[in-house]
Amino acid sequence: MPVSTVRATTERHGATMRRLPSADTAAPVGPGVERLIVEMDGSLVPRVDTTHDGAAEAPRDGRKRRRLSWVEARLCLAHAPGSVTPRFGGTLGDVTAAGDQLRACAVAAGGGPDTQVHAVGDGAVWITEQVERVFGAQARYLLDFYHLCDYLAAAADAVAGPDPRAWMDEKKTWLKANRWPEVLTLLRPAVESDDVAEDHAPVRACVRYLTNRTAHVDYQAALAAGLPIGSGEIESAHRYILQSRLKRAGAWWTFENLQNMLALRLLRANGAWEEYWHHVDQAA
């Protein structure tokens, strides 16, 4: 079978999957499960656009008519604590579309109006805004602990003294005990002056990052409830759902085919592969 036939068939099924009834308008049934864990994050995937032959500036060489760029794919998941089968959603659209996908995931995972939502993310403003828009008072948002520690580690060289590893271990313990005000008090005297460039001011960056997110660092309560304090689950999902297929060496995708492949990868990740082929057989 020619490779082009395999490609065309795959793209056609991906397009069909995109047209399947969407869950983003689904209403929860009943009060819902007691608690859900939700995560959301974005990563870049490669895109190619081609200048039309009729364009005045289009060269004859087709290779020179390609315009390469990157587009953000936003992925989300939801599952009950202890579950190993998350529900996934994703979009190449804007942040509102991503928030709608997050809500659909929560509903599919059993969420309802009485469900308490534990959201974890890297502190990006668009994520916190969408969690608030979608879940309101039902959600408690927690800043990814390991992103915060990355900022703290970068600042450690300026304030930690001769043993930065021991210093970091102590400050991680402080953060997990909600002693973040003490961390800020320790860092502030070492903040670089305003004339130091951002790239050379790790203490300033750490203080700013933590100060802007103090409402989202209740690690003590999360740990006491047995809830995650890191968003590694969604970061890992980006690798095995999207990047392992879409970011292969030399691969560039039209926007249409990116959407088709995203639909295909999400359908498989959600365990609906056999259900899809049953739908195809019934249609035939």
pLDDT in tens, 40-53: 999 999 999 987 65
Eight-state DSSP code of residue 264:
H
Backbone angles phi, psi at 143, to 5 degrees: -70, 130
The burial class, CB within 10 Å (0-12 / 13-18 / 19+), for 264 is buried
**Residue 58's pLDDT is what?**
53
Cα distance between residue 241 and residue 247, in whole Å: 11
Q: Tokens 């639909």 label which residue?
A: 263
The burial class, CB within 10 Å (0-12 / 13-18 / 19+), for 41 is buried
Q: What topology is assigned to 1-56+63-144+230-277 in CATH? A: Nucleotidyltransferase; domain 5 (3.30.420)
Backbone angles phi, psi at 70, to 5 degrees: -130, 145
Nearest-10 Cα torsion for 124, 32, 237, 240: -160
Cα distance between residue 56 and residue 272, in whole Å: 46
Segment 82-92, tens digit of pLDDT: 999 999 999 99
Cα distance between residue 79 and residue 66, in whole Å: 41
Segment 129-177, tens digit of pLDDT: 999 999 999 999 999 999 999 999 999 988 888 889 999 999 999 999 9
**Residue 197's pLDDT is what?**
94
The DSSP bridge pattern shows strands 35-50 and 66-79 to be antiparallel
Is the per-residue pLDDT at 239 higher than 50? yes
Is the per-residue pLDDT at 126 higher than 70? yes
Eight-state DSSP code of residue 188:
G
DSSP string, 31-81: S--SEEEEEEEEEEEEEEEE--TTSTT--SSGGGGEEEEEEEEEEEEEE-T
Domain ranges for the chain? 1-56+63-144+230-277, 145-228
Cα distance between residue 239 and residue 216, in whole Å: 26
Cα distance between residue 72 and residue 258, in whole Å: 11
**Cβ(70)–Cβ(44) below 8 Å:** yes
